[in-house]
Structure 1
Amino acid sequence: MSATTTTTMQSINPPVRSKDFSAKQPETIRLYPLSNYTFGTKETQPEEDPSVLARLKRLEEHYDKYGMRRTCEGILVCHEHNHPHVLMLQIANAFFKLPGDYIIHEDEEIEGFKKRLNERLAPVGSQFSGEGVNEDWEIGDTLAQWWRPNFETFMYPFLPGHVTRPKECKKLYFIQLPKKKVLSVPKNMKLLAVPLFELYDNTQRYGPQLSAIPHLLSRYNFEFVDENDNVVASTPGVSQDGRAPRTKVLAGSGAGEQDQGMADYTEEGGENGRQGAQ
């Protein structure tokens, strides 16, 4: 059937309008285009632990001194080609993680979380100037809680019934990016913009926590605006120019390039991806 015939049939048979289906919906979220944001690099931030065993040992020491470790990570969302993209860090070209980290034991949760976000993503010195440099973080809804029952790599989106003293709780917060924002990533990391369809059901590459993000965001309706604040699409978004969204390297090695997605997957990278997402 030709495109002309299809258009004619659609005009002759308009869709049946169903009743409203928007009860109990959260507020619609406005997403700004990726081109609104400025990205740079700053000094290297080496990982605190040389191995998984060292990381678990440090967790055990923290628990002995301060009790359960509190970790906060942010789901930062913008859009490219009218499709939601999540900003994500890639470390050593191997594993992926959301911006954030464990909260210092003496800090309050939200302020401690903002401090961690600034350590990872805030520009330093006079590297940038203008709108978006000193923009504060708007911490939104808690979208998920993951629990670490023991001193091991596995985390669960529920607390097992027999566990009364979890060793770590990780919260994932939705963070609505403002109209303009300047982000600066450590030189030893990459900042990626990953489309939701790349994350969805992709535990092999991103692990169970990150691949669940499309589920977490499905509660929202989105409207997509262009650089001039014009609403160009709303949920469900479709590309206006016919190009399929792809993961894009925003800062770090290979900035400006398209990530190869599953084409660059290796068994070693996949294993690290699972570990990094824990």
Structure 2
Amino acid sequence: MRDVKTSIEGWGSGLLGVVIFSGSLPATRVAVAGFPPLFLTSARALIAALLGAAMLLLLKQARPGRGDLFSLGIVALGVVLGFPLLTALALQSITSAHSLVFIGLLPLATALFGVLRGGERPRPLFWLFSCLGSAAVVVFALSAGESGSLAGDALMVAAIVVCGLGYAEGAALSRRLGGWQVISWALVLAAAPMLLLTVATFPSTLTGIDLPAWLGLAYISVFSMLVGFIFWYRGLAVGGIASVGQLQLLQPFFGLALAGLLLGEPVAWTMIVATALIVVCVAFARRHA
């Protein structure tokens, strides 16, 4: 009975994290219309770092050991700097609906880095479905028409790679430090360079930046950068990395719905088909990992 309750708690927490993350790209798409990508990346990380530091101080958390600093650095480079910056740059030339198709590869990227970190030996079928999923992304990107660009697609692929690395490293580290502590310490570790970058890229004037851009910045700073990770890493720690990680497969569908409903972006049937095919391939790949 306890195992069932723990499993439900882990999946519920993980699902909340996925739902929160699903709004990240649409919110970034709105925010990047008013703020430069570099400033947006550093500002969101700095705001979240201040909140994370306050939580660590109020709850009197012990400092991580020296051996954890390297892993925290990888998490910071992957999910604090790399993914936010690369997606912000990509969303200057592609729609959030288009970008969400690439999110279908995130579970696979996480699994691949889990293999590299854990020294596992996947079955041949794992590589088959991995290649099929990657091929679906390439075909979709090349046939996307005006809604996509080669530069934007390349940036999204790079974003998925660094995010997968940050997820895998953070999931392993959360077993020792705890879920919300990992993202909080990673944010604190990145706070100093993010502060310098914020000052260096601060817009010459804030006049003319509309309310949706401010709301987008607020969402990705508080929810995408901190709150979502609290639920996500807790779900991984409580319910199991492999099982709860499957919930990432739902993120493209949630994101496409938000992009269509909130931003009014066109969601072509090819996007839905490509996303569905990627989800199927990733699901089978993870099954045979």
Report the structure number with the largest CA radius of gyration: 1
Instruction: Flag the structure with higher helix content.
Output: 2
Instruction: Flag the structure with higher strand content.
Output: 1
Q: Which has the higher contact order (CA 8 A, sep 6+)?
A: 2
Report the TM-score when normalising by structure 2: 0.26
Report the TM-score when normalising by structure 1: 0.27
